[in-house]
């Protein structure tokens, strides 16, 4: 088996396949885990990310349920504690429009029987005294958790290798080789042909640039800028979202503030405008942050798709070709379920309903020539 891409998705797949006894080679153009997986904030937030009940929310929830055991397994396989934290998340509102947004979210989520609690502003401040006095109300999602994505990426890489997968860093795939309606391997940009019984496309934002694929893979980069402020002692226990920003407290006192959403191609840069757009809403949520040292800034590229849903499962026309890309805002959260889906897909198990995530939903698009 050959996996293209060494982010959390590619490494989770390689780990799973190797654990299942499948000979697995993962190729990564740079160093594994150094792109979107590293840039993320690590929120496991189905109830913030989904806008309605349906297949996407179900997928997020299923992966969220897998996470505690996933983290425990990684600890025992690698000795790495990946920073799984289960204090929950708050979605806070400050304006009249925010209150309406919260009410609408509470309406559909409580009607669907999802774990959401409605809080007054005073109740929210009782839970998190660092919140601004102007908070008018909040939703609490006790089952929306977080993980340290950088630790997770390192642990998954190590776990994949420990399980027997081979990882080759610094090897860029240029073309997927298809013969007689079957994927047979890849050719690297250095001209090396590598044969494989099956190929998994887990190349994130770069998936659409691979040559040789039978269909267009409409993944494009969506730039996100983030900063970290130092709060000692930590300002929050919950992950805090407002409609304009999110604040993710790490155990070491760093508070991650994210993230911009920009369509600027493959350009990665932290800009004054980007930082300004984060700081205003961060101070609105917690004015004491005005004095917190700014200790880090970075950015990354989310692999976006036209409908913001991932592309998962087998190619409709080419045997041995599988997709695990386009995870957009939820690559960290979706890593465990994606590994399961690809293992099933490679094993020929078609019992899972994947229509909403199949590449063929974009069948009117033409492949790159």
- Strands 117-120 and 137-141, by their bridges, are antiparallel
Please identify, using beta-carbon distances, which residue of 259 and 341 lies nearer to ligand GLY.
259
Q: Site for ligand GLY (CB under 6 A): how many residues?
A: 7
The yes or no reply on residue 19 touching ligand GLY (CB under 6 A) is no
320: left (phi over 0), alpha (psi -120 to 50) or beta: left
Contact characters 22-41, ligand GLY, x per CB under 6 A: -------------------x
CB of 43 to ligand GLY, least distance (A): 6
| Residue 249 binds to ligand GLY (criterion: CB under 6 A) | no
Cβ pair 290, 221 in contact under 8 A: no
Q: Which of 185, 204, 224, 310 binds ligand GLY (CB under 6 A)?
A: 224
Whole-angstrom distance, CA of residue 235 vs CA of residue 286:
9
343 is an interface residue for ligand GLY by CB under 6 A: no
C-beta of 191: minimal distance to ligand GLY in Å? 36
What is the smallest separation between the CB atom of 41 and ligand GLY, expressed in angstroms?
6
Give one DSSP letter per residue of 236-264, joined into a string: -SSEEEETTEEEEE-TTSEEEEE---B--
Asked if the bond preceding 129 is cis, omega within 30° of 0, the reply is no
Shortest approach of ligand GLY to residue 223 CB, angstroms? 10
C-alpha 314/C-alpha 359 separation (Å) is: 8
Residues 30, 319: Cα–Cα separation, whole Å: 28
Structure tokens at 263: 């369509």
Q: Which of 3, 25, 43, 321 binds ligand GLY (CB under 6 A)?
A: 43
Length of the chain as a residue count: 369
329 touches ligand GLY (CB under 6 A): yes
- Cβ-based nearer residue to ligand GLY, 167 or 278: 278
- Considering the rule CB under 6 A, would residue 221 count as an interface residue with ligand GLY? no
Is 259 a binding residue for ligand GLY by CB under 6 A? The answer is: yes
Closer residue to ligand GLY in complex, CB, 203/213: 203
Q: In angstroms, rounded to a whole number, what is the distance separating the alpha carbons of residues 354 and 200?
A: 16
Choice between 24 and 45, CB closer to ligand GLY = 45
Q: Verify binding: residue 302, ligand GLY, rule CB under 6 A.
A: yes
Whether the CB-CB separation of 12 and 325 falls below 8 Å is answered with no
- Where along the sequence are the contacts to ligand GLY (CB under 6 A)? 41, 43, 224, 258-259, 302, 329
């Amino acid at each position: 088996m050959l996996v293209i891409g060494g982010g959390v998705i590619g490494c989770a797949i390689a780990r799973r396949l190797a654990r299942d006894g499948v000979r697995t080679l993962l190729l990564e153009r740079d160093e594994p885990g150094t792109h979107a997986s590293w840039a993320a904030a690590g929120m496991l937030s189905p109830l913030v990310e989904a806008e309605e009940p349906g297949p996407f929310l179900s997928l997020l929830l299923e992966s969220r349920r897998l996470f505690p055991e996933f983290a425990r397994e990684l600890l025992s396989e690698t000795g790495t504690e990946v920073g799984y934290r289960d204090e929950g998340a708050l979605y806070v509102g400050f304006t009249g429009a925010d209150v309406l947004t919260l009410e609408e979210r509470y309406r559909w989520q409580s009607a669907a029987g999802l774990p959401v609690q409605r809080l007054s502003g005073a109740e929210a401040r009782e839970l998190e005294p660092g919140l601004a006095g102007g908070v008018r109300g909040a939703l609490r999602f006790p089952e929306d958790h977080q993980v340290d994505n950088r630790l997770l990426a390192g642990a998954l890489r190590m776990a994949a290798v420990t399980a027997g997968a081979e990882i080759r860093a610094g090897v860029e795939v240029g073309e997927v080789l298809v013969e007689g309606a079957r994927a047979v391997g890849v050719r690297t940009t250095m001209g090396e042909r590598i044969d494989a019984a099956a190929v998994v496309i887990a190349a994130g934002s770069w998936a659409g640039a691979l040559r040789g694929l039978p269909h267009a893979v409409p993944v494009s980069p969506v730039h996100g800028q983030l900063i970290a402020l130092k709060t000692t002692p930590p300002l929050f226990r919950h992950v805090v979202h407002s409609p304009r920003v999110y604040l993710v407290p790490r155990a070491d006192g760093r508070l991650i503030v994210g993230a911009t959403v920009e369509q600027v191609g493959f350009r990665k840069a932290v800009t004054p405008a980007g930082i300004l757009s984060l700081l205003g809403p961060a101070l609105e949520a917690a004015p004491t942050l005005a004095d917190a040292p700014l200790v880090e800034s970075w950015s990354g590229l989310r692999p976006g798709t036209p409908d913001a849903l991932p592309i998962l499962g087998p190619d409709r026309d080419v045997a041995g070709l599988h997709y695990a890309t386009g995870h957009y805002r939820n690559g960290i959260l979706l890593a465990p379920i994606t590994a399961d889906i690809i293992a099933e897909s490679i094993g020929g198990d078609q019992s899972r309903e994947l229509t909403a995530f199949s590449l063929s939903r974009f069948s009117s698009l033409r492949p790159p020539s």
